[in-house]
Structure 1
Amino acid sequence: MPAATRRVDVRGPRFGAAVTTVVLLVVLITGSGWLLAAQGVVFAVGAFAGLRRAPYGLLFAHLVRPRLGPPTAFEDEAPPRFAQAVGLVFALVGVIGYLSGVTALGMAATALALAAAFLNAAFAYCLGCEMYLLVARLRKPAV
């Protein structure tokens, strides 16, 4: 099935965003470019291999979802995958900042990614998903 038609339990990306929020908070507190690089790998797997293969998606599928009731809502996987790609860009910029000694750049990129992850985790508002939908609307030819 093509990635654009895959559907995911809406609770999965939100769980991933909660874990990401914690990881990015630890990055900001510790200034660890290497931890941010690890989070970048998580973003890359989610963006390119799919949410089901991403580490947080696997945690959700095997440890969290079996303890919850059956899913009541699904969403297209494409917008959250796009959001993972956006997170990867911020993680790469942050890693470059931290590892090159431009700590302010690392902190700024991490803080922006943290804000987006927190919005998704706490309020189910996915900024990257909204960006995906906006780009999709802009790409549609006018009738």
Structure 2
Amino acid sequence: MLIDPRAPRFAAAITTGVLAVALLGGGTPLLIVQAVVFAITAANPRLGPYGLLYRLILAPRLTPPTELEPAAPVRFAQVVGLIFIGVALVGQFAGVPVLALAATGAALAAAFLNAAFDLCLGCLGYLALRRLLGRPLAARVPAGS
């Protein structure tokens, strides 16, 4: 499955906002919502709530993408995000706020890098892992290929 690379970047921008608000005091409820979003998107990037918003609201107003990217790296990145938010929630529920803050901050930093600079750390990790296993995958392909 190939996807418009602008959709995960849009999702990362929303995630950045959600996690920033969570760090500023939104806490556990926002982390739970974000964990659900990560889980849904990891299962199928086309069903992720933020991706749906992108496809319904923004995509019709934009020119078609010139490149597409495989969904697998995006799914992997969502799993990594889910793990970080899971650790943050464990910190919240266990009464270890420094763990919650550190894990939320790490997820926020990764989301911000993707949103602001199109640098998806989880995607890069996935592509590096594929290269190490001798099964390289192109990060992007021309649309229509």
Q: Identify the match of residue 46 of structure 1 among 28, 35, 41.
A: 41
1:30 aligns with 2:22: no
User: Percentage identity across aligned positions?
Assistant: 53
* Count of residues paired in the alignment: 135
What aligned pairs does 1:29-108 form with structure 2 within 5 A after superposition?
A: 29-48=24-43, 50-108=44-102
Q: CA deviation at 1:69?
A: 1.6
The CA distance in 1 between the partners of 2:61 and 2:97, in whole Å, is 40
Decide whether the 8 Å contact of 1:31 with 1:98 is kept in 2: no
Find the residue that maps to 1:32 and give its secondary structure.
Answer: helix
Find the residue that maps to 2:116 and give its secondary structure.
Answer: helix
Q: CA deviation at 1:31?
A: 5.0
Structure 2 unpaired stretches of 5+: 136-145
- Aligned match of 2:105: 111
* TM score, norm. by length of structure 2: 0.90
Structure 1 unpaired stretches of 5+: 1-5
- Aligned match of 1:135: 129
Q: CA RMSD in A?
A: 1.1
Q: CA deviation at 1:100?
A: 2.1
Find the residue that maps to 2:34 and give its secondary structure.
Answer: helix
